[in-house]
Amino acid sequence: MDIFTYIIIFMMGTVFGSFFTLAVYRLPLHKDITHERSFCPNCNHRLEFLDLIPIFSYIFLKGKCRYCGQKIRIRYLILEILSGLVFLMAYASFGIHYPNYELSTLVAFVFFVFMYITIVIVAGIDKEYRTIHKGTIIFGTIMQVLYILYLYIMEGTSIYRYSIYLVLLLIMQIANILYFKKTGKNAYILEILVFSFYIIFVTSAELFLPISIFTAVLIAFNTLIQKVKFNLRDRPDILKENESKATSIGYFLGIATVIVVLLENVLKYCIK
């Protein structure tokens, strides 16, 4: 039964991985992400069910649109697979064994999923547009507040620490919104602070230190890879242009958060 459950959890993760690409594309354009059917961004043809099966559709269609033949970026396939693995690792690390499970661990897993959805969408939008999507942060904050209320009511957990983090997060979010209304543009440093406080809110201040260190390592590693790649291609002009672009810190911060939180959960599970 566990093997069957793990397959279901993995497939759920791949479905969310497919959804992330849609959300990252549509949210900045203020398009609907729940009711409007998916379509090919090249030919605008509405995609049918067989075109939307995570992983399998990409493989069977050989990475191309069925209707116009446009190549589909392989990163969509990679994101679906990685998302499935994240769901699988998280489910296993929470120690959930269907049908014998504790309600608290199942609830913790569900709200981990909400956190994961928030972080991945924020990181994806930041990678494409170098901006932190306010609406997604608000969604993630509301979900975390609901989880904190559950912990307080059902398990008697102290919410003093969470309250402080929430107040700081709200202050930064309000400051970010006011700056945008006043200037008509985003202050990226404020946006990163909002994202950082959200991460502290859903994890902890103690965990944010290794997350910050890992973020710096990822940024440095990415910079090195870019230099090596363009040097090997003997394209210093592209390298110079790439270096002039500001780094999407939120993208790397999101990746670091997911990895560190997963590792923490796995270590806790192994220690039990």
- What pLDDT score was predicted for residue 244? 46
> 79-92 pLDDT, tens per residue?
999 999 999 999 98
| Average pLDDT, rounded, for the chain | 86
Among the three residues 39, 57, 92, which one is the final residue of a domain in this structure? 92
Range of the domain at 86: 1-92
Q: Are the C-beta atoms of 57 and 50 separated by less than 8 Å? A: yes
Among the three residues 34, 67, 92, which one is the final residue of a domain in this structure? 92
- pLDDT per residue as tens, the chain (272 positions): 578 888 999 999 999 998 998 899 888 888 887 777 777 777 777 877 777 788 888 888 888 888 887 788 888 889 999 999 999 999 988 887 766 678 888 899 999 999 999 999 999 999 999 999 999 999 999 999 999 999 999 888 888 888 899 999 999 889 988 888 888 788 899 999 999 999 999 998 899 999 999 999 999 998 888 777 666 555 555 555 555 467 899 999 999 999 999 999 888 877 76
**One domain for residues 148 and 168:** yes
**One domain for residues 8 and 122:** no
**Based on the number of CB atoms within 10 Å of its own CB, is 215 exposed (0-12), middle (13-18) or buried (19 or more)?**
buried
Among the three residues 61, 92, 123, which one is the final residue of a domain in this structure? 92
**One domain for residues 110 and 226:** yes
Count the helices and strands in the chain (H runs, E runs).
Answer: 10, 0
**HSE toward the beta carbon, residue 21, CA cutoff 13 A:** 23
Spacing of C-alpha 213 from chain mean position? 18
- What pLDDT score was predicted for residue 93? 87
- What pLDDT score was predicted for residue 119? 97
> 237-268 pLDDT, tens per residue?
555 555 546 789 999 999 999 999 999 988 88
**One domain for residues 115 and 248:** yes
- What pLDDT score was predicted for residue 120? 96
Tokens, residue 174: 């309000």
Helices (H), ranges, 52-185: 56-60, 74-93, 103-129, 134-155, 160-183
223, amino acid identity: T
**One domain for residues 131 and 36:** no
**One domain for residues 51 and 120:** no
Instruction: Give the single-character DSSP code of 269.
Output: H
**One domain for residues 77 and 110:** no
**One domain for residues 59 and 104:** no
**One domain for residues 20 and 140:** no
**One domain for residues 75 and 99:** no
**One domain for residues 131 and 157:** yes
Say how many domains are in the chain: 2
User: Which contacts (CB < 8 Å, 24+ apart) does range 222-225 have?
Assistant: 222/252, 223/247
**One domain for residues 115 and 198:** yes
- What pLDDT score was predicted for residue 138? 94
